[in-house]
Chains A and B, each alone.
Chain A
Amino acid sequence: MKSSGLFVQIGMIAISIGIILTYIKPTFDEIRLVQQNISTYQKQVADVSGVNDRLTDLISNLDLVTKDDRDRLTSYLPDEIDEISVTRDLLLITNESEATYINASGGGVGSPGRSTSQRGSENLPQAHNFELSVSGTYPQIKRLFELLEQNNYPLEVRGVELSSSDEGLMNVSISLMTYSYKSSQSVGDNLNIITF
């Protein structure tokens, strides 16, 4: 009888070890994994909630910008450049300066170029080249440049060729550059913060 009791005890220990190895330990490993996943999910939930809160704040701020200001921004950097409108504006500016309009053309896509400090930045608008030829007196030409600088969208002077003519007037050829908005990102790219 004593020997059979011993076998029972050995059997119980063996069963215990078997249960530990085949169920408890794998279950613990699985629980550890699930807990890690819970932590990851909690972090992601916090991130997404943070993004949503931030987005709500930004939308609130955006709504505070007046329509006039938004219109001015859109005028300054429109989605597209209308070549005819710009050419017409150049004519009107030239007339305003009392210089003589000779010719205006352009609309081709250009490169704005970047200063040394801006290298690496890809957030650049789309540049468009225009050429303007006028003639006039020195005050008229200066007035023309002043009006170009005060325009409600950028008309950057990229080059000027100025020569005096025999009639006492100056012939000026101006290379101008204006800009349109260029989106560099899509929404899908920005949702990486909540994809995992």
Chain B
Amino acid sequence: MADPSNPNSSFIPKRGPVTRRVTTASNQVYVFTLISYVLIFATLLGTGATYLYSEYVQSRLSDEVGKLNVAIQGFNDSDMKRVQDFDERLQQALQRFDNGVSIVSIFKILEEATIDTVKIDSFSLTRQADDKFLLSTSMQTDSFDSTIFQRSVYKLDKYEVNKAVSSIDIGEVSRSSVIDEFGGRPELVRVSFSAELEVPLSAVVYKEQNIASAASIEEMDMVPVDEVVPVPASSPDSQTEEDLGLEDVNQFDI
């Protein structure tokens, strides 16, 4: 029989008064777990932010479209047409005005450089676009000397003709004589020649000062010929008209 008063007499093993070891729970955070959580939250936040920003830029786009429509509505077609018409008309007028030339200047140049023994039979002038004038004249004089003299005068730097005319070509020189029906002697000798001249438009541009008044033009016609055509002393062709014994002949046979 087991003695109940003796605690060591029981067959049940007894636990001694040993202190229990306290074990703490492990709270380990795995990297993969962290990434997954961060990623899901970032994605959700990013989704929200993207949606809001998308709405914002859409509203800004709508604002800009509205501003553009307002600006377009502020554009006035009729005003633009008015301005363009005026500008274009002005440009076209200016373009023609800039190419305005003075035919009187050409006559004046020819007057100054044509000796008084030369008579102009015919005169033809043609404008080549806005570049130049082509002058073709048929002239008549009484001797070959006068023809040579006229050619030398045209080539003198002293005269405007040399500054204005870019090209001079004298040709088709011919001589004819009228026979006196009684004596059979030559009575009047005529030497005719043609002159081709090119005058650039820039040389005869229309200017107010280029145009003399009608009165001054008439005065110019009355200028003595020896003042208009002085004889160069150094030129080999230089001979005064008096030396040549030529009588005054109106250049245009008037």
Contact indicator B254/A149 (Cβ below 8 Å): no
Find residues 15-37 in chain A having any chain B CB closer than 8 Å to their own CB. Answer: 15-16, 19-20, 23-24, 27-28, 30-31, 34-35, 37
Known: A48-B68, A154-B96. A185 touches B102 (CB 8 A): no
Which of A16, A34, A35 touches B40 (beta carbons < 8 Å)? A16
Q: Is A108 an interface residue (CB 8 A)?
A: no
Per-residue CB contact flags for chain B residues 118-151 toward chain A (1 = under 8 Å, else 0) read 0011111111111100000000000000000000
Per-residue CB contact flags for chain B residues 52-71 toward chain A (1 = under 8 Å, else 0) read 01100110110011011001
Q: Is B11 an interface residue (CB 8 A)?
A: no
Q: Which of the 9-residue segments B18-26, B87-95, B159-167 touches chain A?
A: B87-95
Contact indicator A77/B122 (Cβ below 8 Å): no
Contact indicator B92/A182 (Cβ below 8 Å): yes
Q: Is the interface of B mostly helix, strand, loop or mixed?
A: helix
Which of B72, B83, B93 touches A48 (beta carbons < 8 Å)? B72
Contact indicator B71/A48 (Cβ below 8 Å): yes
Which of A51, A142, A183 touches B217 (beta carbons < 8 Å)? A142
Q: Is the interface of A mostly helix, strand, loop or mixed?
A: helix
Contact indicator B47/A24 (Cβ below 8 Å): yes
Contact indicator A12/B39 (Cβ below 8 Å): yes
Q: Is A92 an interface residue (CB 8 A)?
A: no
Contact indicator B61/A157 (Cβ below 8 Å): no
Residue of B whose beta carbon sits closest to that of A19: B43
Contact indicator A156/B96 (Cβ below 8 Å): yes
A23-B47, A164-B121, A187-B80 given; name 20 further pairs at CB < 8 Å. Answer: A12-B39, A19-B47, A20-B43, A31-B50, A34-B54, A41-B61, A48-B68, A73-B90, A118-B130, A123-B91, A146-B217, A148-B103, A149-B104, A156-B101, A157-B127, A158-B126, A160-B103, A160-B125, A168-B254, A190-B80
10 A-B pairs with the lowest CB-CB distances in the bound complex, closest first: A113-B129, A115-B130, A41-B64, A9-B36, A16-B43, A48-B71, A162-B123, A160-B125, A125-B92, A12-B40
